[in-house]
Amino acid sequence: MDDQARLSVDGLEPPSGGGARRRAVQRRGRTYWTRSRKEALAAWLFILPDFVGLLIFVAVPMALSLSLGFFSVDGFGGYKFIGLANYNRMFHDPLFLESIEVTVVYVVCLVPGLYVTGLGLAMLVRQRIPWIGVWRSLFFMPYVVSLVVIALIWKVLLIDKIGFINQMLELVGFQGRSWLGDPKLALGAVLAVTIWFLMGYYMIIFLSGLQEIPREYYEAAKIDGANPWAMFTNITLPLLRPTSFFVILVSTVAAVSGSSAFDLIYVMTNGGPANSTSLAVFYIYEQAFKFNNYGYAAAMASSVVVILLAITVALFALTRGGRFHLG
């Protein structure tokens, strides 16, 4: 046995061929697991729990709901494939079409209302005034209260004749109204309560956007002789474009399918009077859980989701993701 083999046998030096292969494998491993790949793996491991949760509790139910729209479901385990019959029924259902009209009016009134009140309050509480923290807390406080509690309180306040609002109106010489019993007033009353409930949340969002605007811009504008309105239109609004985009998008989705679009209606008016406050989301609930038309409700829900996706895509396209740069 020669000296090299003896050293290999004694464990003092590995055979030249096997050692070279092991060193090559180690080099390949070090080359593959670069720093960027390790960071990517760590990122995916952090994302994995949320991804699995969204897949199980959001994506799968959405897919099942979409497929359910092609079936007639009796609520007792009976499924019958009926193709596009639910969608055909939806386009010929006057109550559903009326609920869409009510929803459009609700969205058109609610989104600008939340934008104006949220931005107005944000500019107000941004001022350096005494007890500013207390004022911010008071404006935001309704948002932390249960929406059902809010609805019950306002239902009592707006009740006919003996309600607090009507009693205050009569004290100053005005006649009380049936705020929740008149088809012409019920939706407006619900809109007012919704804006009052949500304006504190959007105040906080606008306040965070306003605090990102450097005060030097306003000081320079004052030196140039700009008045408050000129500073608002030429400094505040342009620099709030990303925040405005977020507020418009979120408030639109909330108006169509958020809890305020259902909970307040359910507690305060139950869709009445004469379906004047029956939003699309409330009508879908009635078809599913009052009349057991699960397939029909799934078809309507899928259509509402498609409409929301179209609105979202249109907002992104028109504003270029909130930048609002045209041309």
Q: Tell me the whole-structure pTM to 2 decimals.
A: 0.81
Query: Tell me, what amino acid is at 270?
Result: N
Q: Is it the case that residue 270 has pLDDT exceeding 50?
A: yes
Give the helix ranges, DSSP H, for the chain. 3-10, 16-32, 35-54, 60-68, 85-91, 94-125, 132-144, 147-157, 164-171, 186-211, 215-223, 228-231, 237-239, 241-257, 259-268, 280-289, 294-319
Residue 29 pLDDT class (50, 70, 90 cuts): low
| 247-251: average pLDDT | 91
How long is the chain? 327
| 64-88: average pLDDT | 84
Q: Is it the case that residue 197 has pLDDT exceeding 90?
A: yes
| 107-111: average pLDDT | 94
Give the residue, 259 or 229, on which the prediction is more confident. Answer: 229
* pLDDT of res. 1: 47
Q: Is it the case that residue 327 has pLDDT exceeding 50?
A: no
Q: Is it the case that residue 10 has pLDDT exceeding 70?
A: no
Give the residue, 272 or 97, on which the prediction is more confident. Answer: 97
| 157-166: average pLDDT | 83
Beta-carbon contacts of residue 112 (< 8 Å; ≥ 6 apart): none
**In 227-294, where do the E strands start and end?**
none
* pLDDT of res. 300: 92
Q: Is it the case that residue 76 has pLDDT exceeding 80?
A: no
Is 237 in contact with 211 (CB distance < 8 Å)? no
* pLDDT of res. 5: 47
The residues that bridge with 81 in the sheet, in sequence order, are 71
Give the residue, 53 or 326, on which the prediction is more confident. Answer: 53
- HSE at residue 265, side-chain half, CA atoms within 13 A, is 30
Q: 138-142, 200-204, 257-261, 289-293: which has the minimum mean pLDDT?
A: 257-261
* Cβ-count burial 182-220 (b if 16+ within 10 Å, e if not): beebbbebbbebbbebbbbbbbbbbbebbeeeeeeebee
* pLDDT of res. 8: 46
| 277-296: average pLDDT | 90
Phi first, then psi, for residue 84 (nearest 5°) are -95, 15
Is the CA virtual torsion 206, 212, 217, 222 positive or negative?
Answer: positive
Q: Tell me the range of 122-126, 131-135, 189-193, 238-242 where mean pLDDT is highest.
A: 189-193
Token reading at 91: 């386009």
Q: Is it the case that residue 14 has pLDDT exceeding 70?
A: no
* pLDDT of res. 203: 93
Q: Is it the case that residue 51 has pLDDT exceeding 80?
A: yes
Residue 23 pLDDT class (50, 70, 90 cuts): low
* pLDDT of res. 9: 46
In the chain, the domains with their CATH numbers are 1-32 (no CATH), 86-319 (1.10.3720.10)
Question: What average pLDDT does the chain have?
Answer: 84
Element (H, E) at 241: helix 241-257
* pLDDT of res. 82: 87
Residue 11 pLDDT class (50, 70, 90 cuts): very low
Give the closest residue to 242 by CA, choosing from 214, 215, 217, 205: 205
Q: Is it the case that residue 6 has pLDDT exceeding 80?
A: no
Give the closest residue to 82 by CA, choosing from 238, 293, 228, 267: 293
Residue 247 pLDDT class (50, 70, 90 cuts): very high
